Structure 1
Amino acid sequence: MTIRAEDPVPVAGVTAAAAEEGGTSPADLILPLVVVAAAVVLAGYGYLRRTRRARSRTTPGLVSAHPPEPSARDFERQARASLVAADDSVRTSREELGFAEARFGPQEVEPFAAALRAAETELAAAFAIRRRYEQGAPEDESARRQALVGIVGRCAETGRRLDTEAAGFDQLRSLEGGMSEALEVAEGRFRALAARTKDADTVQAELRERYSPSATAPITGYVEQAKDRLVFATTHLNRARQSADSGDGDRAARELRAAEGAVVQAEVLVSGVERLAAELKEAAGLVPAVLSGGEAEVAEARRRPPLVPEGELRARLAHADAALSAVREELTRGPYDPLDALRRITRAVGLLGVGRAGVIPVAALLTARSTTSAAGAFIATHRAAVGAEARTRLAEAERLLAAEYADADDLAQEARDLAERDVRAHGNPYDGPTDHASGLAGAVLGGILLGEEPDGGPPASFGGPDTRDRRRLPRE
């Protein structure tokens, strides 16, 4: 809100003119009082702002009567925070919508699904602006500031679309008044997932025996984290049922949402193990064909007129030959990383620019999808610590999967590296032995609980930044 110091002046002029005409009415007496009162309020407001600003200063001096303009760093900070909040809101809304659809069917939840799609569109536009901003576009400082304002605006619209539907969504779910069916849906997913988690433990052990450590690195700790989320879900499903039986519908809804969030994240982690196992198997089956295809590409590059200077072509051919030879040697040595083998072959052969058909693009797409999925799973299950940079690169990698496989692969790996860096730097205040045993630490790190209270805070719910924390306990 902007307050102009000169606004009262015309009003005073009108009052004086009225007085000169000699007429006095109640309105003539009230208006000056209103003006004076407004001036007092504005002066008090200005004084408080100046006092607070003076107290926050680290160096002595006079306080300016004109507040400083937000700096570029302020805009940057707000844009990053807006992206994180909007992305978290979309993720949580998508997750809770899945439980509602399982209970009521797609037709009943369509209005909320439509709101979610609209929010996703706004968020994608915000991430696209952010990506261009990171790449230096636009260059003009004023235009760059406007780009940041545009990001904040898109994120605000993302949240608004979800906040608008939050009340109607709660009315559809009716968790406070009818908990039994919602509990059955969550408990059914929990039981199926518990069985899959046991199988995933076995699968992970087999992958470690069959492939090199780098092949299984993307899922390190996933089974343990899934079990942690399931422990948390068990506790809160039991509490939800107890609260429902005692007639405390608000607490039952809170506990159920916490359990649902944990079930979703456990499923993401277990699916990550299952997906990587399938991808490694497919990659291992592709390696011989990709080796043959790569050799054919190299031979074709040697036959045809060069598209680059001779020296550059020789260097690229030598690099491709070395990559093919290294992979052939790995196949005879023992456990290796088939996805990484495909990546090295497709990258080396791709530099030759020979052809885009055949098995080479298939292999490139497989590796890009694998890296992107792994980055997405990590960010989804550690979202409370992950910043805007990692999320922006993931969004761009997902967009590029349709065509630019190598670029998507690179961006997804950057997203994963940045997310892991954020998690290492973040820490977790809920990090005691009891917090880990109950799964509380993982639930807060994963954004299942919003971390605003000693018990972990309210669970995240369908909605934007203004409504997603609505299931908090009442203040006592």
Structure 2
Amino acid sequence: MPSGVQSSTRPLVTGRPRRLRGSVRAALAAAIAAIALLCLPATAAAEAPSRLPGQITDTAGVLDDDARADVQDAVDTLFDEHHVQLWVVYVDSFDGMDADTWAARTEQLSGLGSETALLSVATGDREYRFTVPVGIGDVTDSDIADIESDAIVPALRDEDWAGAAVAAAGGLSDALSPSGSGSGVTYLVIGGVVVVLVGGAVLYTRRRKKNTGGAAVPADIDWTDPTAVATVPVAALDARAREVLVDTDNAIRTSEEELNLARGEFGDATTAPFTAAFDAAKAALASAFTIRQRLDDDIPETPEQRRDMLVELIATCSRADRELDERVAEFDGMRDLLIDAPTRLDALTQRMVEMTVRVPASDSVLAQLRTEFPPSALASVEGNITLAREQLAFADENVTAGRVAIARAAGKQGPAVVAIRAAEAALDQVRDLLDGIDHAADNIRAATATLPAAIDDARKDVASADALTAHGGAELATARTAAQDAIARAEALRDSDPLGALTEIAKADAVLDEMLATATEAKVQAERTAQRLTQDITAAQAQITAASDFIATRRGAVGAEARTRLSEAQRHLDAARQLSQSDPAQALQHSRAAGELSGRALYVAQADVQQWEASRRPQQSSGGNTGAILGGILIDSMIRGSMSGGGRGYRGGGGHSGGRSPGSFGGSGSSGRISRGGRF
């Protein structure tokens, strides 16, 4: 076990009671027994020591989303209050190793620092190890013993896996607090009972809500507060996220229409506060849509990531919606249509006259365009005159309806607001329709001039796509084909419909540009992977060589595990080299496995040698032959046990007394290779 670490490692079934009075112990046992009925079984597989990916690792699959959230809250609180980290790992088995060795190796591989404690739990083996570095506050061995016996072990024995971690974090926090030293055992016992009881109540409530098909959400919850939103179950969060996203989008679309009308009426300076609120809400909505896209794509998130993203989405949309609502009264007061409805209706009548006068002029422009351009080139504006006249008639009807409405008694003039807004929207469309005709000639001529360059640019992009076929996949191939088709149609429509041709080729080329960017990034990534692969293969080979040399020169003491790991490392390295050209990504995984296995082989081999040397110190019987025995040059029958004759003689009568003989060619019975087991 590494020096400078306080450690507790025992089978779960042998956790010792400490200083618990009978009544308290009985109450604790009864509470835990009731909570144990709520726990669900889980299955997992053994796992060798490795670098932990995060503060909470659960390869045993014993934590659900809520339990993991409880553990996360506990370790976060410990860090916030004392700047001490607690890392927690649940595996099914310690991979045949004793808990001390497994946890020590995991700490080493994970780079845990001097302010980091580790709780390792093998749920299938029913073993655990709780280590706290010496020098963290005033935490003593006695404190650690109290934490494990009064809080951790009871929870583990009843398979309250999350409760054990929560209790460990709480116990450390108590021990680190000014009042946590001295006679704090009573408080720790009571705290352990409270933690388990509260944890059990939470688990019971959560499971009951799940069993009834959903969780109740408080009616008065503040959806703009991320802390409050985070208390809602994930299923309810997902439903709320979809609802608030649609509601906010609808509100922003409506607000935009109203804001545009207000700008035209009152000017940008007057409407600046509303514009700022609208822009902020629109940016927030865009951010929320990005989060929703990430949630819905094919890349999975961890339960914690999904919860955090849903909380952010809901809080963001809710804040945007609230900020818009806060401006409603002020906005309505500014734009109270009923106050100046007569004036507005007069202004609308004037606009109708202006638009009506423009119609014949625009009709003449369209007739002239028909003499210059083929019908296909004018398809986008051909029906504008007819539609403009229809919208003018609609505006006239609403202006008339508005005048009728404002002539009514107070309280019955509401329809005037709808009529005014409808007339305004219709006249805006009339303006756009007539402007389209007036600008058509310029647009067509600009398209005619721009089309050759657009076609040339698209051809270059198609050529670039040909060079990136291996990295773009089916999507790039589809975009390339679409761009080629657009080029062909643009060539055919160059004279008859240049505007339509330009629009189509611009659209196809934009899609191709996007696919090219993706393929280019994939190519760069492939080149980086190849570079990393070369580096990893070189590093793995160096590590394998070091381990192989160490084992070869000390094979008299090195057991089977180190040799097995070394063999596996070599196999992975060979696979990495074979796949380096055909499948670099898979080869990279093999090379990394080779490096990890060879590092483990060297670690285990070094441990074997240390154990061998320690076992020989009291004997002092090897004399000058110790190095030869360690190196496997001489076979020590005292280590291997009795030889073929049942005595302690030497092989072949070669004169090497004392149970030692030189190794030679042959099988395990004659060459002196040591096979050892049962080390852990």
Question: TM-score under structure 1 normalisation?
Answer: 0.44
* Structure in which a larger fraction of residues adopt strand: 2
Greater radius of gyration (CA): 2
Answer 1 or 2: higher relative contact order, Cα 8 Å, separation at least 6: 1
* Structure in which a larger fraction of residues adopt helix: 1
